[in-house]
Amino acid sequence: MRKGFLWMALIGLSVNLQAQASRENVSQEIEPVAIVQDGIRFCESTYPYNGGILIANFGTSELNPLNSEGKGYIVWHKDGKTEIIVPADGNLSAPKGMFERDGYLFVCDVNKIVVYHLSVPGEHPRIIRLPEGDLFVNDLAASGNMLYVSVTNTDKIYRIDISDPANPGAPVEWTSIPGPNGLLVDSGVMYVASYPADGKTQDKHIIYRIDNLDTPQPEKFVQTPGQYDGIAFSSDKKSIYITNWTPAQLSKIDLRTRQIVPVQLKLANPLIGPADITVDGEKIYIPDLPNSRVLVVEE
């Protein structure tokens, strides 16, 4: 009887531990503290700026990430108010990832990077062209004086010398990763979110890490395939947040265990296309591209 009782107790303990582990792998449902929609039209990217958030918009009547209509614009959202900071001047068509240094805003666009001098509104921007065929110029991240540029459809990451942001260098091919989309760099380590440009997810479309930026050797960091887009550190730098288009969701990855935990969002209208996210002030800004809105949730 004692053996039987002990056996049943062990089974019960195992079931309870499994249930607890299962609960720990799913976050509590979070309701956004705000939804930004005013002045938004097909928003792909967010970026912290001057106490608020920059939001890049296509501005087109139909969603086309490779359009050439020149209707793209960028707004600045702060304290519940949204204003245009870069108007539709014909230079942006499908603006995506952004990076700012010393008043110069670098913006990814179709086959190019557009550089605006925010301190001098109306000044004609500098255009940095990429090689023909590099269409899905997607995200930017800097380490020191090097700006890294992902091109999703050609599996390339370039780097540009921005020691003088007013006169950036030419793009130089740096490394190759399948479908590089979101880029994240800190302390000489890069994380890369992979996205299939043709929409066909394969085992290679995962999260990669590069430990040495001088001699890049991409390694698999999280091996669950997906259509990964945005990537950002949590405020405590112990985790990273990633967005995935299939299924459409936000997830959190523990940098020590590499465990992926979906973040459950309480939404009346479901998330469709979460793109280039930002974490700032313990808030996560999630552009939902097809729905033309930015969800703001607390960590």
Question: Average of pLDDT values for 61-79?
Answer: 98
Of 27 and 108, more confident: 108
Question: Average of pLDDT values for 46-58?
Answer: 98
Q: How confident is the model at residue 122 (pLDDT cuts 50, 70, 90)?
A: confident
Looking up tokens 């020691």 gives 163
> What percent of the chain shows pLDDT beyond 70?
91
Q: Is 286 left (phi over 0), alpha (psi -120 to 50) or beta?
A: beta
Please give the model's pTM, rounded to 2 decimal places: 0.91
Whether residue 261 contacts residue 252, with contact meaning beta carbons closer than 8 Å, is answered with yes
* pLDDT confidence of residue 21: 37
Residue 295, pLDDT > 80, answer: yes
Q: CB atoms < 10 A from the CB of 19, how many?
A: 10
* pLDDT confidence of residue 173: 98
> What percent of the chain shows pLDDT beyond 90?
90
* pLDDT confidence of residue 27: 57
